[in-house]
Structures are given as structure tokens and as C-alpha cells.
A and B are shown apart, each in its own frame.
Chain A
Amino acid sequence: MKGPEGMNQKKELILRIKDIHKSFGGKEVLKGISFDVYKGETKVIIGPSGMGKSTLLRCINQLTFPDQGTIWLRDQEVTHHNLREINLFRQKIGMVFQDFNLFDHLDAVRNVEIALIKVKGMKKEEAREKAMHELKKVGLGKQASLYPAQLSGGQKQRVSIARALAMDPEVMLFDEPTSALDPELIGEVLGVMQKLAREGMTMVVITHEMGFARSVADEIIFLEKGKLLESGPPEILFYQPKYERTRRFLFKLTELYGDLNGKK
């Protein structure tokens, strides 16, 4: 399932999520979530919509501030810092959004290089080279000079993955990266993500793509009603879940989004 580095070695902690609580307008959407992510691991988070999955992901890179609880990146606490320090952490935590959020006024390569220049202070030529390298990695070397409006949904999402990867993050967060895509474009994005996982990238992925989860996830986390109901490796969660609720949810997903072998 995993690349050579992913398993067997001594586990190296990348991300620790500890007792995260978050409320919006009196409604508690996260009620104390904790889990660890180790180097090279892919964690897939599933659960019904509106149950705080995205909020949880945004708490990790502090786009949303949790009310309670702590986030650790390696041995450093991410939470409770000033904005300047948070910006440093965010550089090490890549994020890919459901609706891409590409910068509309920049072509693909400039979408990828702008943070290298403005955030990392890289020289223009160096940033351009790095950006091109990342675009080629997601198979878009030829589309470098196209603007977001000229790209398909799948291409846009691959640019946004390249944009996040260019920062050389320690971990990548994916917030339903294929939910806004036409069915025939989902494969190209999942393909890139699968490749990343194989190459040993540490990833936390919210998705409904059970074929993907089955083939790359080291652990699946089932969130419901703001709580971590159940988690485990796909073999266990798919075939011997502890809770009837988990079984029913997974059954519905696989019915909707293809079978468990990763074929559509």
C-alpha cells in the first residue's frame, strides 16, 4: 500500500491534534477531536456533511482558531501563537481546497510561484524554475501559461496541489479535493494524490472517494456529530466496523461513489 519509507521505520510524529473544540454561534461542531499523524501516513477523514470536517482541517493550519485544544507540528505547538508565527507554520502545512481557490488574475505558473516570491522571498528565476518543476510533477508543464479560466476543473485542482507542494510542506491537507469536479475529471486529481502518497507525503484527506481511501489510507477516521466515532485501517473499518452507524455510512458512500477496489 505504501512506499518504502512509509512503513516499518520508527514512527516520526508530524502532526498531533489534541482535544480540539470549536463552536459557531453556540453550536458546537467539534467536541474534542484528537489524533496523531505520522510521517508518510495518509489519514482519510470521512463523515456526514456539516459535521465539522472542514472546520477541523482549518483548525490544523489556524485558518479557524479552535476554542480549546492544541495542534502540534512535530515538537512545536501551532496553537496560541501570534499571526507572524502562524504564517510560518502555514508554510509547512499545505492546503488544497474543494473549490481550488486559484488566483484568477495569475496564470498557472504564477499561481504556483507567487507565494515562493512573496512569502519565502525566493528570487524570481529560482521561483519560476521551482514552480515549473511542481507543475510538471502534476502533469501540467504545458499548461503553465494558461489562466484559471482556461483550465478544466481537474487541471485547476492539480495547479492548486502544485501551488501547495511548491512550499515544500511537511504535511498536506486536502479538503474534499474532488467534490467540485465532474466525474470524469476526478481520476486525474486522485492519480496525483495517489502518487504523492506513494512518494511518502504525509497527508490528511477529507474525501468521499472510498476507492481512493481503500487504496492509500493508512487510517480512516469517521467523524460524526463533532466526535471521532471510530477510526482504523480501511480493512477493519470497511469490513468489521465497531458501530452500525459506521457500517451504514460506508455502505452508502460505496454505493454512491464506486466500489472498494478503487475502480469506478
Chain B
Amino acid sequence: MINLDFFLEILFPSLLEGLIMTMQLICWSIPIGLVMGVIIAIGRVYGNVLVSFFSKAYIIFFRGTPLLILLFILYYGFPSIGIYLSPFVAAVIGFVLCSSSYHAEYIRGAIQSVRSGQVLAAQALGMSKLSAVFNIVLPQALRRAIPGCSNEIIYLIKYSSLAFMVTCIELTGAGKIVASRYFTYTEVFLVIGAIYLIIVSLATKLLNILEERASFPGWENRK
């Protein structure tokens, strides 16, 4: 039963479809999650009482709820209030909410570690606070947040497999279907595990290159 044909004709084609779905999930979720994370972090640090409170609540809520529960609410719960999301959209929204709340905390820490005198200096030059945050603080904070955010991105790649629980057939889901039909759990999940490992290794490599590119003299010794 288990032979090369199984891998070439059955497993790989369906895994390829699943892989494409996984890549779509993470390619949407990572950038949106990051942008949301930056916005929430800025709101938390620089926002007025209301904005800061909202940002804190956001982080507590979405970091504190299991992602799976979040996905179930979005996909199975929301129709009861008249909101119907496709499996893909529900998964991306869930990932973005979860991922951004983690990013927000990494970025908040990084923002707070930028010496505050630099904002004063920028303001003394006539820069608005907002401009100082965007031109002076964020370029430094985002560099500092790269290691933490990299961690979260790698988590996201792996927990994207949860999309399968809301019927979005990505890599893990596609594999599970093949495995249960042909009763080849060991082979299938070994292959899937290897694929995740390869994706994560590639992502790690890219993120390391990014970290290196983003460093500047006086920066490397902070590592």
C-alpha cells in the first residue's frame, strides 16, 4: 500500500493544495497582524486614557483567550448574530487578533526602551509628537522588536494549522484527510512536520537577514 505512488499521486498533490492555503493564511495574517500590533502598541503607550484603556483591553482579551475558542466564536458563533465568515476569513481574523496582541506587547516594550530624550530633542526641533514617534521612535523600536516579533511570526506559522478546525483545509487539514482515508498517519504527519520545519527554517533565515540589515553601528553590541 505504502509506496512511491502513494506519495507522488495522492499525498503530495493534496498537501500542495493545503500548503498553498497555509501560505495564503500566513501571508495575510503576518503583515496585518504586525500593523495592528504597531497600532495597538502606539495606542497603549501614547494614547489618551480612553485609547490606552482600549489597547490594554484588546491585549488582555485576545492574548488571554485560546486561539481555538476565538476561531470557534468567529466561525460558529458569529452566524447567530448574522455575521457569516468564510473559513478562510474567519481564520485570518482569528490569527490577526491573536498575533497582533502578542506583537503589541513586544513593540510596546521596544518603544519604551527608546531613550525618551530623543523625543524631547525632536520636539525641540519643532517636530510634532506624532512625527517624532514615526520618524524617531518607531524606526528604533521596530528594530528592537524584531527578535520578539520573529518569535510570534514563527508561532503563527505553526498555529495556522488551527484553521483546519474551522474547516479551512490547509496543510494539516489536507494531510489529516489523506491520513484517515488511507490510514497512513505516521507517514503523512512526518512529511507535514518536515514541511512546517522547512517553512519555519526559511522564515527564521529571512528574519535573521532582516535583523542584520536593520542593524546600524552601535546596535550590534545590544544583541
In the complex, identify which listed stretch (A66-74, A144-152, A188-196) lies at the interface while the others stay far away.
Answer: A144-152
Per-position binary interface string of chain A over residues 106-145, scored 1 when its CB falls under 8 Å from any chain B CB and 0 otherwise: 0000000011001100000000000000000000000000
Q: Does B136 contact A (CB under 8 A)?
A: yes
In the complex, identify which listed stretch (B24-32, B62-70, B125-133) lies at the interface while the others stay far away.
Answer: B125-133
Interface residue from A87, A118, A150 paired with B217 (Cβ < 8 Å): A150
Whether B218 and A87, one on each chain, are in contact in the complex, defined by CB atoms closer than 8 angstroms, is no
Residues of the B chain whose Cβ atoms lie less than 8 Å from the Cβ of A163: 121, 125
Jot down 26 A-B pairs with beta carbons below 8 A, ordered by A.
A63-B120, A87-B127, A87-B128, A90-B124, A90-B126, A93-B124, A94-B124, A97-B117, A97-B120, A97-B124, A99-B117, A101-B115, A103-B118, A104-B114, A104-B140, A105-B139, A105-B216, A105-B219, A114-B135, A115-B122, A118-B127, A147-B216, A147-B217, A148-B218, A164-B124, A164-B125
Q: Does A61 contact B (CB under 8 A)?
A: yes
Whether B125 and A91, one on each chain, are in contact in the complex, defined by CB atoms closer than 8 angstroms, is yes
Q: Does B143 contact A (CB under 8 A)?
A: yes
CB proximity to A under 8 Å, residues B89-115: 114-115
Residue of B nearest to A90 (CB): B126
Residues of the B chain whose Cβ atoms lie less than 8 Å from the Cβ of A93: 124
Q: Does B167 contact A (CB under 8 A)?
A: no
How far apart are A243's CB and chain B's nearest CB, in angstroms?
33
Given contacts A101-B121, A102-B121, A103-B121, contact A167 B218 (CB under 8 A): no
How far apart are A158's CB and chain B's nearest CB, in angstroms?
15
- Residues of B bordering A, CB below 8 Å: 114-115, 117-118, 120-129, 131, 135-136, 139-140, 143, 216-219, 221
Given contacts A114-B135, A118-B135, A146-B217, contact A105 B124 (CB under 8 A): no
Q: Does A88 contact B (CB under 8 A)?
A: yes
Q: Does A160 contact B (CB under 8 A)?
A: yes
Residues of the A chain whose Cβ atoms lie less than 8 Å from the Cβ of B126: 87-88, 90-91, 115, 119, 167
Whether B140 and A105, one on each chain, are in contact in the complex, defined by CB atoms closer than 8 angstroms, is yes
Whether A119 and B125, one on each chain, are in contact in the complex, defined by CB atoms closer than 8 angstroms, is yes
How far apart are A56's CB and chain B's nearest CB, in angstroms?
15
How far apart are A240's CB and chain B's nearest CB, in angstroms?
37
Name the residue among B117, B124, B126, B136 with the largest chain A CB count within 10 angstroms.
Answer: B124
Alpha-carbon gap, A163 to B221, bound state (A) = 26
Alpha-carbon gap, A237 to B70, bound state (A) = 73
Pick the 4 closest A-B CB pairs, nearest first: A149-B218, A91-B126, A101-B121, A101-B117
CB proximity to B under 8 Å, residues A42-77: 61, 63
Alpha-carbon gap, A104 to B114, bound state (A) = 9
Interface residue from A83, A88, A91, A160 paired with B121 (Cβ < 8 Å): A160
How far apart are B117's CB and chain A's nearest CB, in angstroms?
4
Alpha-carbon gap, A160 to B118, bound state (A) = 11
Residues of the A chain whose Cβ atoms lie less than 8 Å from the Cβ of B117: 97, 99, 101
Residues of the A chain whose Cβ atoms lie less than 8 Å from the Cβ of B121: 95, 97, 101-103, 160, 163
How far apart are A30's CB and chain B's nearest CB, in angstroms?
18
Alpha-carbon gap, A101 to B116, bound state (A) = 9
Whether B217 and A167, one on each chain, are in contact in the complex, defined by CB atoms closer than 8 angstroms, is no
Alpha-carbon gap, A94 to B123, bound state (A) = 11
**Other A-B pairs, 18, CB within 8 Å; known A103-B122, A105-B136, A164-B125:** A83-B128, A83-B129, A90-B125, A95-B121, A95-B124, A104-B114, A104-B140, A105-B139, A105-B140, A115-B122, A115-B125, A119-B125, A119-B127, A147-B216, A150-B217, A150-B218, A160-B121, A167-B125
